[in-house]
Structure 1
Amino acid sequence: MSGAAATAPRGGIARVSRRVMNLAYILTQNARRHGDRPGFIWNEKTWSWRHIDQNVSALAAALAARGIVKGDRILVHSKNCDQMFWSMFAAFRLGAVWVPTNFRLMPDEVAYLATASGAKAFLCHGDFPEHAKAAANPALEFTWRIGEEGTFGEATVGDVIAKHAGAEVENAAVEYDDPCWFFFTSGTTGRSKAAVLTHGQMAFVITNHLADLMPGTTEDDASLVVAPLSHGAGVHQLVQSARGVPTILLPSEKFDIAEAFRLIAKHRVSNMFTVPTILKMMVEHPAADQHDHSSLRYIIYAGAPMYREDQKAALAKLGGVLVQYFGLGEVTGNITVLPPALHDPEDGPHARIGTCGFERTGMQVQIQGDNGREMKPFETGEICVIGPGVFAGYYDNPEANAKAFRDGWFRTGDLGHIDAEGFVYITGRASDMYISGGSNIYPREIEEKILTHPAIGEVAVLGVPDPFWGEVGVAVCVAREGVDPVGEAELAAYLAPKVPRYKMPKRFFFWEALPKSGYGKVPKRLIRDELAALGLLEVIAKSTGG
């Protein structure tokens, strides 16, 4: 234990500093072992691992020169691109905290995240000047622009990298619980919260993903990105980097399925992370029969359940390459896994239909009742989890932490059961949150914005089944008395600049009143029942499918 900072022994075991590898050391390793091999490919341009490491050091040096030190938060609002990827490792290298946002968020939402995270620096893509303007606050010391477009910001990331070219920056010393990433998630309630991911936790996550999701991955593999790097896809690409796997981006943020299949064939892509909606679109696209996709070994999907018929169609088209996992941002996807061997292409007595898999290596899942008691097999309760993949807690939010944990167990807010063999089945959600196209949608924030329209007195937003998106949002509105009524198209146009497109309700209905319980509340289940009784659920599915 030479050199360790030990404290007073407890039970004969000394407590020592839990020094761990800085995640940016992944680039140090790759530059040494795979220096000339491709590490990042975008728009026909390729960066070697050595070049990536140099760019990251230059960006880290520039940030340090501007006063960024260990523990500082760096907010990043960007479409997928090279400089966004560099920013993650540059933050890690300094011991700072990477705080990426979903680039589809509105300016006021990004402004809130800037304040909530206590960000000191802001790296903002040139396509988002309004976001840069909205995020400005006294604690935010400077803004740099990602990419060549735009005119805002103190400097461009490209310019500061060029200015500090050749700089050598050591990976900061970090401990297991030192934060590296604020993963913004609403968890099971309302406004976004920063789930604190740490260097030690993420080292476990990387190892766990490689063991459970894509065993045998090496530098000879290749990975295609079809989702924002700010969230699950970013975790996936961090895992790929740990094995020297090149990351390949689509040419733009637009999801071009034909281009995706072209890149799969060209680069012999072996794995990708996606959501069921995107996977369904790919399987049904003509390009699936026009390009060679035999190199695919693992298509990892998460974020929402996948309809059985869609699952069978994907297996028939792509082969036995599907991997499902269940996990929240707070657990970095590390709750369950259903590997390729358990994805039965045909229904039968041994098919695991409806399960999201079994417990991930090193993680324990338990179904608990309202009192925290473990439920018996097949009894329904809340899905709870413990293990090294669980986050450190929400940043500066003790109330949310108190609600999220019970006796050390993280409470997912999802309901389900476990069968006698340990397979987990999700049967519902404890909150009104719904999942559309793999994105979590929280009705309250949408309801509040609809209620700002002078003609709307009451509203309820809820998710209803959809054959294409999994679920879509529906807004049931009640007109304000004494005000001229508003139509569906007009209300949708009013809401469009206030919420991202993926959060926009697909239909707006106008009722004389909302059904209420004896306590004066508006249970969403009563609204859903009324929609079904009126035959509107079928109408919605037919109008939104595809």
Structure 2
Amino acid sequence: MQAFTTLADIEALEQRPLAEVAPHRTPYELIRATAARFPEREAFTFLPDAELDTPPQRITYRELLAHIHRAANAFRALGVHEPDTVAMLAPNTPEAHAVLWGAQLAGRVCPINFLLQPDHIAALLQASGAKVLVALGPNAELAVWPTALAVQALHAAVLVPITMDEAVPGTPSLQDLLAAQPDTLTFVPDLNPDRAVALFHTGGTTGAPKLAQHTAGNEAHTAWFAHAFYDMDETAVEINGFPLFHVAGAFVYGLALLAIGARQVLPTLSGMRNTGFVQRYWQFCERERVTHLACVPTVLASLLGVPVNANIEGVRAAFTGGSPLPAELAQRFETATGIPVRNILGMTECAGLVSIEPLLGPRTPGSAGLRLPYTEVHAVPWRDGETQLDERCAAGETGVLVLRGPHMSPGYLDAKRNAGLFEHGWIVTGDLGHLDDAGRIHITGRAKDVIIRGSHNIDPGLVEDAFMAHPAVLQCAVVAEPDAYAGEVPVAFVVLRPGAGLDADALLREVAPQVYERPACPKRVVLVDALPLTAIGKVFKPTLRLRAIEIRLNEIAQALAPERAVRVQASDDGGRQRALITLGGVADEDLSEQLREALAAIAVPVEIRFG
């Protein structure tokens, strides 16, 4: 397959049948074919720590395939069949890959964020019907095992440790189970591409379990076509510091390389959270002859703070996704490193990929690139509170992005959760954006992130762009603050660059003239040391929305009771925000009534307490 440059390249490929272009329609078949072509090529280079003189663990494709076979056999021996689930609490290591792909052969896999609370993890195990839980064993770097023990107390499952620093007495490890199995399959796997082989949780870190199903065909489709955008072949080497419970680590930057025989450098148990590794990032790039970087915007921003103290001429590209890519950040990174930046748009519900900016094409500010082959992506009007799936926006006209194709999930495990996203054979992404004349997809925000000031819709992404263009700003996120008169107003949370001598008011004065329209200008700027991030470094806006509520309600309460201590706690109850205001001192019904009157037009339910 030739590398893509324009939409015309994709459309030309689509003149051939999909079965001819992509003959391997499951992850296992992709990996098996690669192992047959390149048995002794390196699949993984695992860095045990962040020291440059520590020898890495190197795994060939022949060894990887054998480990996958052994894992599948071991899970089948534990009673796992096609309807059953193997859950996994583990970082991105070679052993975890054996679990990820082996479990899909025996039954299905459910990788879970080990940073979640034990009760949330247990709920995911319960929802998935997990029979087996594979978890990282005791070690000095990443404390997953105590969480696994707490989870097992809440949900009965066979607990299998991945041995690292020390064994778990009386409990066979994953390595023990693999060693007891042959390196060829002991059963005939069901390789139907329409079979659901994985469950990936999505929707943040709170609330009821939300598990997106992946078929084998979903995962294989995204993985097989990605390399033509990346301009990769088997000689490519990529740093993949993303967790396997996220589609970026598993597919966008994971299976996509396994499908073509390329090599992944896996940086320690902590991945990109290992500060020692980040400080030596460029030296590891030189040592391992890295050609491609797997990033999110916050990783790009972090790397800008690391001096380039190595020869990185072999690094051809930095791909980034997970959240919108500020054009100013991309330009700064390219100028500082000489490495081209390209953007990716992905979703858990379509095995990680919607579109990619081709490396051989230009970087277009605001663009998330071109759709995958054999898929459809359109911008459709949003009217009367609904997407108009039978209509199409003109080129350049903003609408809600919808998509469908072989990468589209069959839906959530709990079908009641499908409404609003899976509609009439389409995924309604909730992203606001448009397609330009060249077919490039542009994301300008999230439909749910739209700030409605009076009757005026404000796109927070465009406001963030204005702040990111200021030389003192390192990061910015704009969210809605409740307002008694306008309903909502924008508020900007900003991380300044080190040494920037600017206060919030001065920054707002300087940026305000650059905001795309007057109603979109934030009411306030809040300077923070760091923005809340998800496990892969994506800004987690729900936390900022709660903080904005707390700031505004605190102002209102303090104005009415200046002599009292005021504490405001905002919370999210299944997507609905609410707040508790606690006023110091004895109860005062008159004050309580005044406060309720002042808050009457604020669209946030509030409880008032004294004490």
TM-score (ref. length: structure 1)? 0.73
Could you tell me whether the CA contact under 8 Å between 1:142 and 1:154 is conserved in 2? no
Kindly tell me: are residues 144 and 311 of structure 1, through their superposed partners in 2, closer, same or farther at Cα, counting changes over 3 Å?
same
Amino acid at match of 2:337: L
2:126 equivalent to 1:106: no
User: Residues of 1 paired with 2:170 and 2:214: CA distance?
Assistant: 28
Kindly tell me: are residues 521 and 358 of structure 1, through their superposed partners in 2, closer, same or farther at Cα, counting changes over 3 Å?
same
Amino acid at match of 1:124: A
Q: Which residue is 1:37 aligned to? A: 41
Kindly tell me: are residues 398 and 93 of structure 1, through their superposed partners in 2, closer, same or farther at Cα, counting changes over 3 Å?
closer
Q: Which residue is 2:172 aligned to? A: 155
Q: CA shift at 1:54, angstroms?
A: 2.1
Q: Which of residues 80, 98, 120 in structure 1 aligns to 2:92?
A: 80
2:39 equivalent to 1:28: no
Q: Which of residues 230, 250, 254 in structure 2 aligns to 1:234?
A: 250
Q: Which of residues 148, 161, 164 in structure 2 aligns to 1:132?
A: 148
Structure 1 range deviating more: 367-376 or 200-209: 367-376
- 1:126-525 superposed matches below 5 A: 126=137, 127-136=143-152, 140-148=156-164, 149=166, 151=168, 154-164=171-181, 166=183, 168-169=185-186, 172-186=189-203, 191-212=208-229, 214-215=230-231, 217-231=232-246, 232-235=248-251, 236-253=253-270, 254-255=273-274, 256-286=277-307, 289-319=308-338, 321-344=340-363, 352-369=364-381, 370=386, 371-372=388-389, 373-395=391-413, 397-432=414-449, 464-467=492-495, 469=531, 471=539, 473-474=543-544, 475=547, 476-477=549-550, 518=601, 521-522=603-604
User: Residues of 1 paired with 2:597 and 2:355: CA distance?
Assistant: 39
Q: CA shift at 1:139, angstroms?
A: 7.1
Could you tell me whether the CA contact under 8 Å between 1:323 and 1:337 is conserved in 2? yes
1:216-247: CA deviation from partner (whole Å, max 9, x where unpaired): x2222212112212211111211111111122
User: Residues of 2 paired with 1:293 and 1:84: CA distance?
Assistant: 29
Could you tell me whether the CA contact under 8 Å between 2:91 and 2:243 is conserved in 1? yes
Aligned length: 453
Q: Which of residues 65, 68, 74 in structure 1 aligns to 2:77?
A: 65
Could you tell me whether the CA contact under 8 Å between 2:227 and 2:233 is conserved in 1? no
Could you tell me whether the CA contact under 8 Å between 2:244 and 2:250 is conserved in 1? yes
Could you tell me whether the CA contact under 8 Å between 2:113 and 2:245 is conserved in 1? yes
Q: Which SS does the other structure have where 1:290 is aligned?
A: coil
Q: Which SS does the other structure have where 2:27 is aligned?
A: coil
Q: CA shift at 1:195, angstroms?
A: 1.0
Amino acid at match of 2:395: P
Q: Which residue is 1:119 aligned to? A: 130
Amino acid at match of 2:110: V
User: Residues of 2 paired with 1:137 and 1:179: CA distance?
Assistant: 28
1:369-417: CA deviation from partner (whole Å, max 9, x where unpaired): 324333333333211111112111111x222213212232211111223
Q: Which SS does the other structure have where 1:280 is aligned?
A: helix
Q: Which residue is 1:54 aligned to? A: 66
Amino acid at match of 1:117: S
User: Residues of 2 paired with 1:400 and 1:152: CA distance?
Assistant: 41
Kindly tell me: are residues 160 and 309 of structure 1, through their superposed partners in 2, closer, same or farther at Cα, counting changes over 3 Å?
same
User: Residues of 2 paired with 1:293 and 1:334: CA distance?
Assistant: 28
Kindly tell me: are residues 380 and 21 of structure 1, through their superposed partners in 2, closer, same or farther at Cα, counting changes over 3 Å?
closer
User: Residues of 1 paired with 2:201 and 2:491: CA distance?
Assistant: 22
Amino acid at match of 1:183: F
User: Residues of 1 paired with 2:598 and 2:399: CA distance?
Assistant: 27
Q: Which SS does the other structure have where 1:402 is aligned?
A: coil
User: Residues of 2 paired with 1:156 and 1:314: CA distance?
Assistant: 43
1:76-131: CA deviation from partner (whole Å, max 9, x where unpaired): 0112222111101211232x211111222221221111112111111011232442
Could you tell me whether the CA contact under 8 Å between 1:120 and 1:139 is conserved in 2? no
Q: Which has the larger radius of gyration?
A: 2
Structure 1 range deviating more: 307-316 or 399-408: 399-408
Q: Which residue is 1:542 aligned to? A: none
Q: CA shift at 1:485, angstroms?
A: 5.4
User: Residues of 2 paired with 1:292 and 1:124: CA distance?
Assistant: 37
TM-score (ref. length: structure 2)? 0.66
Could you tell me whether the CA contact under 8 Å between 2:366 and 2:444 is conserved in 1? no
Q: CA shift at 1:38, angstroms?
A: 1.8
Could you tell me whether the CA contact under 8 Å between 2:26 and 2:219 is conserved in 1? no
Could you tell me whether the CA contact under 8 Å between 2:319 and 2:341 is conserved in 1? yes
Kindly tell me: are residues 143 and 90 of structure 1, through their superposed partners in 2, closer, same or farther at Cα, counting changes over 3 Å?
same
Kindly tell me: are residues 274 and 281 of structure 1, through their superposed partners in 2, closer, same or farther at Cα, counting changes over 3 Å?
same
Q: Which residue is 2:3 aligned to? A: none
User: Residues of 2 paired with 1:171 and 1:265: CA distance?
Assistant: 43
Q: Which SS does the other structure have where 2:102 is aligned?
A: helix
Could you tell me whether the CA contact under 8 Å between 2:368 and 2:441 is conserved in 1? yes
Kindly tell me: are residues 153 and 326 of structure 1, through their superposed partners in 2, closer, same or farther at Cα, counting changes over 3 Å?
farther
Kindly tell me: are residues 23 and 358 of structure 1, through their superposed partners in 2, closer, same or farther at Cα, counting changes over 3 Å?
closer
Kindly tell me: are residues 31 and 353 of structure 1, through their superposed partners in 2, closer, same or farther at Cα, counting changes over 3 Å?
closer
User: Residues of 1 paired with 2:433 and 2:304: CA distance?
Assistant: 29
Could you tell me whether the CA contact under 8 Å between 1:143 and 1:155 is conserved in 2? no
1:318-357: CA deviation from partner (whole Å, max 9, x where unpaired): 335322111211123432222335545xxxxxxx332223
User: Residues of 1 paired with 2:360 and 2:598: CA distance?
Assistant: 47
1:29-66: CA deviation from partner (whole Å, max 9, x where unpaired): 34433222222211312122222222222222221111
Root-mean-square deviation over aligned CA pairs: 3.8
Amino acid at match of 1:143: L
Q: Which SS does the other structure have where 1:219 is aligned?
A: coil
User: Residues of 2 paired with 1:123 and 1:509: CA distance?
Assistant: 43
Q: Which residue is 1:7 aligned to? A: none
